[in-house]
Chains A and B, each alone.
Chain A
């Protein structure tokens, strides 16, 4: 609330008025007060914006921040979402009272309080479609974007000599940061988790996801190689298991609609 009032982008008196005039915020504890405060913050932050693309960007960026399995930096977000770091900064400029955006673009963006993501992800609480975030839809978006990144992986991205043990690579972490990057690392580790939380019905999405998954699986070694270099090989096993579960559910959905049994 203090951050909202001392906003550098808005007049403090006006912000204070918004908080004070909001009857719920002073009368009730719990969701009612917080919800109206968050609604006011969002409405105030985007009061002079009318372009739908701005709100689409906002949902895109906020959805990724809130649903990421690890806090992401602007740099990583930019890689995953395929947008510039400047656009991310611009989108989040007015939300500094609820989201911490470090000036260093390689440091993680964090939400100040868990109640903010809870509010945005609950359609009953955040009723404004410009701001509300549908977790399933955003998980599917993230899954597709991560899959697109993983598809780009090539063999031996760090140009390592053959048969070299991971532990013998000099300054492996720096090499990975330079050659693979944290955005790609996130995509490699978490694409399956996002996919698992994606819908298993909706033919357009399923078709797109299956195409990407097939492309990756047909050439799985580069992904396995990166997972080993990143010391996440166990996660690769879990990811594959999660993918198998998702495909099983998808095959059930296809059978329901086409009446054709799948050989799974």
Chain B
């Protein structure tokens, strides 16, 4: 009986020890997991948090910058949208320069003596400068009864010579006209004759810093004139697909004109196009 009891106690002790061992192992494992997991999670959370915070800060910074830029642009927009914007002043200045070109060109102070005083009443420059002109007695014009309210349409009157005006075309460098048998190039702004030639049998060329102009008597049934784009490296021809002929001018019969905007190494083409796009031999 005692022996049996001793056996039971021993078995119970073994079981208890085994359980304790298992418990110790489990506890150690749990501690290990417990130690590791929360830290890792915390670290991950912190890293993620930092990253999100950085992104958020960057985003906030970018938003602030954008808002500032938008505010600045709105400021510029307001500046431009004001009653007298720089744009309107610039347009007005252009009108004033073109209308009073001759007097100001000959006498610089005419800009005060006449231009500002005689400008239309709606002109922003008239508004901003007239007071100063009057105060400093720079103009004899004290009041301009019946002053126009806006700038007129007529900018320049060109006195074409000779008077037998036949045709005209414009280019960025001038107004080209054919009057009688004379080809002339007039300046766009002053409206004065820059160059003129009477076409002869021989090819004539005009050179200025801005353009080359070729002129000759043609035996073609149709006159020829072409104005070419500045960027072209050679005179346009059907064989040169890159080039574009911009404008034709119907000149008087037997007067042919080729105008080439300046570039070096220009050579006259063997072929050309007549005003109707038909290829012809020059």
Contact = CB atoms under 8 A, between A and B. Distances in A.
Contacts of A220: 89, 93, 96, 125, 129
B190 interface: yes
Contacts of B109: 156, 160, 162-164, 225
B80 A155 contact: no
A237 B98 CA distance: 7
A166 B106 contact: yes
A204 interface: yes
A247 B76 contact: no
Interface stretch (B20-28, B54-62, B67-75, B141-149): B67-75
A225 B111 contact: yes
A264 B129 CA distance: 22
Interface string A234-264: 1011001101100110110011011010111
Interface in A187-236: 203-204, 206-207, 210-211, 213-214, 217-221, 224-226, 228-229, 233-234, 236
Given A221-B116, A225-B109, A233-B101, A258 B80 contact: no
Interface range on chain B: under 10, 10 to 19, 20 to 34, or 35 or more?
Answer: 35 or more
A166 B91 contact: no
Contact of A258 (B77, B116, B124): B77
- The A interface is mostly helix, strand or loop, or mixed, namely helix
A11 B153 CA distance: 69
Interface string B76-108: 110111001111011101101110010011111
B90 A240 contact: yes
Of B70, B87, B108, most A-chain CB atoms within 10 Å: B108
Nearest to A244: B90
Contacts of A203: 69, 72-73, 76
B112 interface: yes
A165 interface: yes
Contacts of B75: 207
A200 to B, nearest CB: 11
Contact of B86 (A165, A204, A213, A236): A213
Nearest to A217: B89
B114 to A, nearest CB: 10
B207 interface: no
A264 B80 contact: yes
Contacts of A257: 69-70, 73
A138 B90 CA distance: 24
Contact of B107 (A166, A234, A240): A166
B211 to A, nearest CB: 16
Given A156-B109, A225-B104, 12 more contacts: A160-B109, A204-B72, A207-B75, A210-B76, A213-B86, A217-B86, A224-B97, A224-B108, A236-B97, A254-B77, A257-B70, A258-B70
Interface of B: 69-70, 72-77, 79-81, 84-87, 89-91, 93-94, 96-98, 101, 104-109, 111-113, 115-116, 124-125, 128-129, 132-133, 136, 138, 187, 189-190
